[in-house]
Amino acid sequence: MIARQSSKLQSYQHLEEALNDNQSVFETDESTKAQIMVFTGYHTKLRTLRNDLNEPTQWITKAKRELFEELSDNSKLTIVALIRFANDTNNQELLNKLDTIQEKLLRTSQSIRLDAAEQLHDLAL
């Protein structure tokens, strides 16, 4: 979390503690009491969101890596099949496109790999 956001949340926490410590002052004013309740509700939601953001995300990273490995494996099989088809039909244009797609699939950028996989899918149709 960014330091500025953390500082704001900490100041909200201090404000809520001060309001709780001086609750007797606001007890008679219903409008102020209602506003404090709204503030406390929002602050509770913010704390919950902060806690959710601080949860470990290794499972997402692992699942994403596994999906990209599966995409890579399936792409290799499809490329081999299409290369054989292109060689059997003497289709040089298809071979050139497959070569370009193979290069893109080896790159580390996820968006480039996804784009290459989509192009491969379109070629296989």
Percent of the chain at pLDDT above 70?
Answer: 98
What is residue 1's predicted lDDT score, i.e. its pLDDT? 56
Of 81, 82, 59, 63, the closest CA to residue 71 belongs to: 63
More confident residue, 118 or 125: 118
Delimit the domains of the chain by residue range: 3-53, 58-124
Query: pLDDT band at 123, cuts 50/70/90?
Result: confident
| pLDDT per residue as tens digits for the range 24-81 | 888 888 888 889 899 999 999 998 888 877 777 777 888 888 888 888 888 889 999 9
